Structure 1
Amino acid sequence: MATENKVIIVTGGGSGIGRESAYKLAEQGNTIVIADFNEAGAKETVAQIEKSGGKATSYKLDVSKAEEVEALINFTVETYGTLNGIFNNAGIGLVKPFLEMDPASYHKVIDVDQHSVYYGMYYAAKKMVEIGAKGVFVNTASIYGTMAAKGSFNYNAAKAAVVMMSKSAALELAEHGIRVNGVAPGFIDTPILGEDKEMKDYLAAQHMHNRLIQPQQVAEVVAFLFSDAASAINGQTVPVDDGFLSFK
């Protein structure tokens, strides 16, 4: 199943889903570029990959800046000679009621969670077509890309866009040998949830097994989508939600 000897970028690879996906992809024999605004986190991910015998390097950037994403793509190809895929995973949340969702709050999430996915796919695809490389893109959407949640107007809008951008890009890039899919995680057990046990228990109860989903569980799906075993899956966003969207 594994896709070996590929060069893959993982944005937001300094923690959580990005980090675990980088570990899994490196374990399968791929070279990983860990791109994150959190430079220390990215370097820690690289250190763990190298400790396990894998190949990786870190790269600091702000994914909301088009020119920085373009520079990331160029750096990767200049360093490794090719590019075979990108996991557009970096994202943020900013919960506010709609009537308090001022333009600055709206654009802060849209720029990171939506526009960065476009930048990643656009600049990666341009470069891959230029050098004749084929590969796979995977984008992190969310369960809230297909259903609404109070206080998340900006996040809902961004993640819904990621679902459709994955479909649209898949349609246009298929002729160039590039597959595009997404993952839609449920509630993931990462530090972003904080230490409020009552809240974490509430979120866990939204899943069929009444427990939070581990980042490693999402990473398994991400690695599968990058693999040749998923060659017939294209333009899809796969829920990793322990049944949330099936009964909510």
Structure 2
Amino acid sequence: MAANNFTGQVAIVTGAGQGIGFEIAKQISLQGAAVLVNDVSPQLAANAAEAINRLGGNCIDLAGDAADIDFIQQMVDTAVQQFGKLTIAIANAGITLFGDFLNYPAQSLQSVMNLNLQGSFFLAQRTAQQIIKQKSGGSILFMSSVTGHQAHQDLAAYGMTKAGLEMLAKSLVVELSPYHITVNTVAPGATLTERTMEDASYHDTWSRITPMGRPGTVQDVANAVLFLVSPQATQITGQNIVVDGGWSAVSASPY
């Protein structure tokens, strides 16, 4: 992908204080986009924006709950006020709450659905409204997961939301293609992040059961995301890219 591929573009990336979201925000900013970095943690959001700007990016931070509809509108309005427009939204924020289906609490289900589904749905809606107003075209991307394709122990609720995001992307092809807005998803498998590396056995376990011999990196996932929201992918919409080193082809259990 050519450097400065995103010159003149303006993006919102949610859940971007660290991990996959941070890497996406960093890469897209260093390739020319102006970026609003969101995280529920004010410190993580501020640190992420500062780090990207130190590298030469153009980034602002806005901390808040990416499941909250009023805050979602605030993100859109802030991006437009600061950068003049909005052309890309990457709904990366999500929550994983493990739990046995037979005892899964209603509060946990509501939390997972609010952020993973409601937050993504309304970020797409409010972004699309802005892009249509601009008559500019643009791109929306949802962060799915291999658990939306393959059953995984104690992740029934989470997997359900991720499968739902992939269906949402397909549905929005009908709604948004007339406005030249693409909508796609990326489904990471096991990925080395600050959170997963807290498990000392994570790297070795997933290296053993992943056909490519290692878990993914945040760079692997970000590369797929940037392609789908880039000018090179304007004829790709309603699609999903799985980034899992082949794990979902064999589905070996980590247990």
Check whether TM > 0.5.
yes
The residue that corresponds to 2:195 in the other structure is 192
The residue that corresponds to 1:102 in the other structure is 105
> Contact 1:167–1:236 at 8 Å: present in 2 too?
yes
The residue that corresponds to 2:133 in the other structure is 130
For the structure 1 residues 130 and 98, does the alpha-carbon distance in structure 2 shift closer, same or farther, using more than 3 Å as the test? Answer: same
> Contact 1:171–1:235 at 8 Å: present in 2 too?
no
The residue that corresponds to 1:92 in the other structure is 95
The residue that corresponds to 1:169 in the other structure is 172
- The alpha carbon displacement at 1:131 in A equals 2.6
Q: Deviations over 1:31-59 (max 9, x none)?
A: 01001111111111211221121100000
The residue that corresponds to 1:27 in the other structure is 30
Corresponding residue to 2:45 among 35, 42, 45: 42
The residue that corresponds to 2:57 in the other structure is 54
Three-state SS of the structure 1 residue aligned to 2:59 is strand
> Contact 1:189–1:212 at 8 Å: present in 2 too?
yes
- The alpha carbon displacement at 1:241 in A equals 0.7
> Contact 1:187–1:204 at 8 Å: present in 2 too?
no
- The alpha carbon displacement at 1:70 in A equals 1.3
Alignment partners' CA distance in 2, 1:147 and 1:93:
16
Alignment partners' CA distance in 2, 1:196 and 1:128:
41
> Contact 1:170–1:181 at 8 Å: present in 2 too?
no
- The percent identity for this pair of structures is 29
Three-state SS of the structure 2 residue aligned to 1:208 is coil
Three-state SS of the structure 1 residue aligned to 2:209 is coil
Alignment partners' CA distance in 2, 1:223 and 1:169:
19
The residue that corresponds to 2:151 in the other structure is 148
- Alignment partner of 1:13 is 2:28: no
- The alpha carbon displacement at 1:199 in A equals 4.1
The residue that corresponds to 1:114 in the other structure is 117
Three-state SS of the structure 2 residue aligned to 1:235 is coil
Per mean C-alpha deviation after superposition, the further-off stretch among 65-74 and 193-202 is 193-202
Corresponding residue to 2:69 among 55, 66, 69: 66
Alignment partners' CA distance in 1, 2:181 and 2:124:
10
RMSD of aligned residue pairs (Cα, Å): 1.3
Unaligned stretches of 5+ residues in structure 2: none
> Contact 2:18–2:194 at 8 Å: present in 1 too?
no
Alignment partners' CA distance in 2, 1:167 and 1:157:
16
Alignment partners' CA distance in 2, 1:54 and 1:200:
31
Corresponding residue to 2:226 among 223, 226, 245: 223
TM, length-normalised to structure 1: 0.96
- State how many pairs are aligned: 248
Alignment partners' CA distance in 1, 2:73 and 2:139:
18
Q: Deviations over 1:195-231 (max 9, x none)?
A: 3323442233231123121101111111111111112
